[in-house]
A and B are shown apart, each in its own frame.
Chain A
Amino acid sequence: MLPSYLTMAAILFCIGLYGALVKKNAIVVLLSLELMLNAVNLNLVAFSKYGVVPSLTGQIFSLFTITVAAAEAAIGIAVLIALFRMRGTVNVDEFDKMRR
């Protein structure tokens, strides 16, 4: 059973990674990050059920992750809105202020 979950999570993670690295729209990048986090959650839950030493720790941990992810999404969107107001765009390519 475990390999199917892990494969599923891996695919999800790769899609998320691809989106985070390639997409120009910041919203899409944020969504991709969520995808990756969920892939991790999937792993956690899978191991907690089918792992060598099954325990509830993994599931509790995934609950935490979901909470943190929600918070992170909120902050991310807030930053994005602020940026959009300032620069008039949500295109990631144009946010290169860090260089200077």
Chain B
Amino acid sequence: MDMYSQAAWLIPLFPLAAFLVLTALGRSFRRAGILTGTAGSLAAFVLSMIIAVDRLGGRAVDYNYAFDWIRIGDYTLRIGFEVTNLTAMMLVVVTLVSLLVNIYSAGYMKDDERITVFYGYVALFTFSMLGLVLSDNLLSLYIFWELVGVCSFLLVGFWYAKPKARAAAKKAFIVTRIGDAGLLLGILLLFWYMPDHALDFTTIQSVFDGQSGAITTGITTLIALLIFLGAVGKSGQFPLHVWLPDAMEGPTPISALIHAATMVAAGVFLIARTYDIFLDSAAAMETVAYVGGFTAIFAATIALAQNDIKRILAYSTVSQLGYMMMALGLGSLTGGIFHLFTHAFFKALLFLGAGSIIHAVHTQNIQEMGGLGSKMKVTAWTFAIGALALTGIPPLSGFWSKDLILTVAFETNPLLFVAGLAAAFCTALYMSRLFFLVFTGKPGAAADGAHESPATMTAPLVVLAALAVLAGFIETPWNGWFGSWLSGEAEAAHGSGVAIVASIAVGLIGIYVGWLIYGKRSVSRTAARERLPWLVKLLEKSYYVDELYAAVVVRPLKTIGSLLMVVDEYIIGGIVRLTGIVTASAGRTAARLQNGQVQTYSLTAVIGFVVIIVAIVGRRFWP
């Protein structure tokens, strides 16, 4: 039964091999490069599917293998892989989206001269992400965690000649690094507190079982919060969300793969992996829930006022990741992971759809689009499915996962339930705004000559659309199969009529309002801008968070740097120079004694002699 899981270590090796081959080939073999990259992720996908299907049958045994990475005396740092149901699910998600993105990019990036480099980076990313998923301990997870970060950085800055892309890449790396530093400290803390300095998840699970009390609550909370800081950075939660919208400077397939479906979900995955630590600390759980809930509504409101199609989707991603965090914080592992699962498909779908649109109209501004529905039928229909799934309209996948989260919130924390509903309303509103502005109405400035994208691009859309429809049925209020498969606990029927009705109602109202404003245009589009200009401005500027950071962090840092430069140049350098000057002038002064007069010399000698005699003789009379 474990036979297939044993082979899981092979999965990341396919994309790695693809990356190495691509790097070795260089830029000239374009077609071969595309094929290599796609083949690598196809092989990984097939093997992941086999493993996942193999594990579907029941509660398969977790498979674990590790080897020593560094041995230092009694301490050993290990690297290894582990296959559980959670990782099996993630494997499928990552490899599937990666495969589709590979196929899609063959069309989208067709004219880019560095397409093989692109495929190489994607393969490297897929390798790192799979390594992250398969890691059996925090250290190796951290290693791959950083690697996916750097791949994201490389891909965001793929069009390196654009200064904006450069700035975005830098920002993505540095902001996530802040979170990573937290995670690193969390790992250090864990290392010294864990019995036997073990960092693997199995041991973590057994130590933090809520009763052993091997580690005090204060330390547990600290560890959990530090790990959460890592997740906040990676998953774009407030206040470290600022990098994700900027990261949209990268090619769109990358936004779908990294910044929607896989890497940004790594934060959620990390918390799920170390969930037992969080369960041991009520304070940490609360923090996670509130940060998640706040981020959900915070980002959703910003998305209302953006005009760049990719930025809207980016804020939407931030908001949905907030949902996942909220679910985890409220104690529903199933809710968080389930939403991660469905979100991966419909958000990848939306991004790829957006890519298809951008490919056709060469702009990202939704105000310049319009009326694309008739020209790009496949894109429009699949995009509609994705948008409805995101909005949470039954029976699409997003409905089931969002409903599960809202149900949990309804039962445990009314405040967060309200926040979730509000965010859901905003989601419905901004998605309908996006959809109606792009696909209906009069053709916009950039819509001339728009045409449907080639089959390599639409085929992935169709596949993802199908998944966006179907993926939700694995867990419904009447059928808790996914939850029990994931956690190994008995199926629990859940569901609350109030939550279901409320979430459907909010979604429908949101769409209706959006339709009134942007579809039917019976309500003025500028009404909000005229009545509340400051609010719109605030939302357009994303609550001025970037400006705030520039003033509070970046500028002081620069000032300190400049100040230290002065210190270095004039104080420390000055002391050094002063020492030099003092020595030199002492030398000059002493040189004056040498005047060439023999008699002066001998006089000096005589004086010295007398001093010595006096000293020697005088000592006898000293008490």
Interface of A with B (CB < 8 Å)? Answer: 17, 20-22, 29, 92-93, 95-100
Is there a chain A Cβ closer than 8 Å to B602's Cβ?
Answer: yes
Closest to B594 in A: A99
- The smallest C-beta distance from A98 to any residue of chain B, in angstroms, reads 5
Is there a chain A Cβ closer than 8 Å to B598's Cβ?
Answer: yes
- The smallest C-beta distance from A80 to any residue of chain B, in angstroms, reads 13
Q: Classify the interface of chain A: helix, strand, loop or mixed.
A: helix
Is there a chain A Cβ closer than 8 Å to B597's Cβ?
Answer: yes
Q: Which residues of B contact A98 (CB under 8 A)?
A: 596, 598
In the complex, A98 Cα to B598 Cα: how many Å? 9
7 additional A-B pairs beyond A92-B597, A96-B595, beta carbons within 8 Å, are A17-B606, A21-B599, A21-B602, A95-B596, A95-B598, A98-B596, A99-B596
Choice from A17, A20, A96, A100 contacting B597 with Cβ under 8 Å: A96
Interface of B with A (CB < 8 Å)? Answer: 594-599, 602-603, 606
- The smallest C-beta distance from A17 to any residue of chain B, in angstroms, reads 7
- The smallest C-beta distance from B155 to any residue of chain A, in angstroms, reads 73
In the complex, A21 Cα to B595 Cα: how many Å? 15
Q: Are B602 and A93 in contact (CB under 8 A)?
A: no
Q: Are B597 and A21 in contact (CB under 8 A)?
A: no
22 A-B contact pairs sorted by A residue (CB < 8 Å): A17-B606, A20-B602, A21-B599, A21-B602, A21-B603, A21-B606, A22-B599, A29-B599, A92-B597, A92-B598, A92-B599, A95-B596, A96-B595, A96-B596, A96-B597, A97-B596, A98-B596, A98-B598, A99-B594, A99-B595, A99-B596, A100-B596
Q: Classify the interface of chain B: helix, strand, loop or mixed.
A: helix
In the complex, A55 Cα to B532 Cα: how many Å? 123
Among A20, A97, A100, residue most surrounded by chain B Cβ atoms (within 10 Å): A20
In the complex, A11 Cα to B200 Cα: how many Å? 96
Q: Which residues of B contact A96 (CB under 8 A)?
A: 595-597
In the complex, A90 Cα to B225 Cα: how many Å? 94
In the complex, A17 Cα to B606 Cα: how many Å? 9
Q: Which residues of A contact B594 (CB under 8 A)?
A: 99
- The smallest C-beta distance from A97 to any residue of chain B, in angstroms, reads 7
Q: Which residues of B contact A93 (CB under 8 A)?
A: 597
- The smallest C-beta distance from B191 to any residue of chain A, in angstroms, reads 71
Closest to B597 in A: A96
Choice from A20, A97, A99 contacting B599 with Cβ under 8 Å: A20
- The smallest C-beta distance from A99 to any residue of chain B, in angstroms, reads 3
- The smallest C-beta distance from B586 to any residue of chain A, in angstroms, reads 19
Give 5 nearest A-B pairs by CB, closest first.
A96-B596, A99-B596, A98-B596, A21-B603, A21-B599
Q: Which residues of A contact B606 (CB under 8 A)?
A: 17, 21
Q: Which residues of B contact A17 (CB under 8 A)?
A: 606
Closest to A99 in B: B596
In the complex, A22 Cα to B602 Cα: how many Å? 10
Among B597, B602, B606, residue most surrounded by chain A Cβ atoms (within 10 Å): B597
In the complex, A100 Cα to B594 Cα: how many Å? 10
Q: Which residues of A contact B597 (CB under 8 A)?
A: 92-93, 96
- The smallest C-beta distance from B609 to any residue of chain A, in angstroms, reads 10
- The smallest C-beta distance from A15 to any residue of chain B, in angstroms, reads 14
In the complex, A93 Cα to B598 Cα: how many Å? 9
Q: Which residues of B contact A99 (CB under 8 A)?
A: 594-596
Q: Which residues of A contact B596 (CB under 8 A)?
A: 95-100
Q: Which residues of B contact A100 (CB under 8 A)?
A: 596
Q: Which residues of B contact A22 (CB under 8 A)?
A: 599
In the complex, A99 Cα to B596 Cα: how many Å? 4
- The smallest C-beta distance from A23 to any residue of chain B, in angstroms, reads 9
Q: Which residues of A contact B603 (CB under 8 A)?
A: 21
Q: Which residues of B contact A95 (CB under 8 A)?
A: 596, 598
In the complex, A100 Cα to B597 Cα: how many Å? 12
Closest to A93 in B: B597
In the complex, A88 Cα to B594 Cα: how many Å? 24
